Amino acid sequence: MSSKVAFFVAASRLRRDIGDLDLSPSRKLLMTRPLDQTLPTDDASPAPSRRRFLGAALAGTAAVALPVVTAGPARAATHITAEDAYSAYWTARYRYAGKVPYVYGGMDPDTGFDCSGMTKWLYSRFGVYLPRSADEQYRYVRTIDKGSARPGDLVFYVNSSGRAFHNGLYAGGDMLVDAGNPEVDISYRRIYYGSKVVFGTQRY
């Protein structure tokens, strides 16, 4: 693909994702619709991807970093930034907890998630691939101690045979956000230490 074709393809995708933009000589940013309807919209949210986009646009730069909306490894990314991991946690806690049901095999916020379906889908929002099952994700990521874990990292419950049977997103302290079961659905709750708990990260 030539550089000109690649440029126009990227421009087309950018217009589709963020709406029409008008960068006037005074460098004011006008926007016809939100950048990403699925990310947090609360003013208290750090919204790091929006900050990066606005900073680049207002500075008049050509390159703009936006989350890639994908259901799988659309690019070769295997790691997530700390701020994007935090956005994944924020989305799970404030947009999905108490609102999205648990569905076995679910991988869609419109219909429901299971535990690893939720973590996989959220990371894919930032172009980062995770395997499908909790155990596959456990073996895919880098394990860390709890002291090194940050919100948005992964929490795994591991059985006596060393297999991860459940996971969620670390929320800080002794809390996590997970798709637990049909009785609790997506919830923000305390980590259960009755099973072995292992923390994992895909942060840079």
In this prediction, residue 77 carries a pLDDT of 77
Is the pLDDT assigned to residue 201 strictly greater than 70? Answer: yes
Q: Indicate the pLDDT class of residue 2, thresholds 50, 70 and 90.
A: low
Indicate whether 44 belongs to any domain: no
Q: Indicate the pLDDT class of residue 53, thresholds 50, 70 and 90.
A: very low
Indicate whether 23 belongs to any domain: no
Indicate whether 123 belongs to any domain: yes
* Across 160-184, average pLDDT: 98
Indicate whether 42 belongs to any domain: no
Specify the residue for token string 């429901």. 112
Is the pLDDT assigned to residue 156 strictly greater than 60? Answer: yes
Is the pLDDT assigned to residue 117 strictly greater than 70? Answer: yes
Share of the chain above pLDDT 90, in %: 62
In this prediction, residue 142 carries a pLDDT of 98
In this prediction, residue 1 carries a pLDDT of 55
Asked if 138 and 167 count as a contact pair (C-beta separation under 8 A), the reply is: yes
Indicate whether 20 belongs to any domain: no
In this prediction, residue 44 carries a pLDDT of 36
Torsion angle of alpha carbons 78, 107, 157, 179, nearest 10°?
A: 130
Is the pLDDT assigned to residue 119 strictly greater than 90? Answer: yes
Contact partners, residue 179, CB within 8 Å, separation at least 6: 100, 102, 106, 112, 113, 114, 115, 117, 118, 168, 185, 186
* Across 118-139, average pLDDT: 97
Provide the domain limits for residue 87.
82-201
User: Taking the alpha carbons of 179, 87, 10, 7 in that order, is the dihedral positive or negative?
Assistant: negative
Closest CA to 200 of 157, 149, 164: 149
* Across 29-41, average pLDDT: 30
Is the pLDDT assigned to residue 40 strictly greater than 80? Answer: no
Q: What token pair was written down for 50?
A: 């929006």
Indicate whether 67 belongs to any domain: no
Q: Indicate the pLDDT class of residue 47, thresholds 50, 70 and 90.
A: very low
Task: Give the pTM.
Answer: 0.65
How many domains are there within the chain? Answer: 1
Weakest-pLDDT range from 8-17, 30-39, 156-165, 171-180 = 30-39
The domain that holds 115 is classified in CATH as 3.90.1720.10
Indicate whether 122 belongs to any domain: yes
In this prediction, residue 3 carries a pLDDT of 52
DSSP 8-class letter at 95: I
pLDDT digits (tens, 9 = 90+) for 55-78: 333 333 333 333 333 343 444 479
In this prediction, residue 6 carries a pLDDT of 52
Asked if 81 and 204 count as a contact pair (C-beta separation under 8 A), the reply is: yes
DSSP 8-class letter at 147: G
Indicate whether 2 belongs to any domain: no
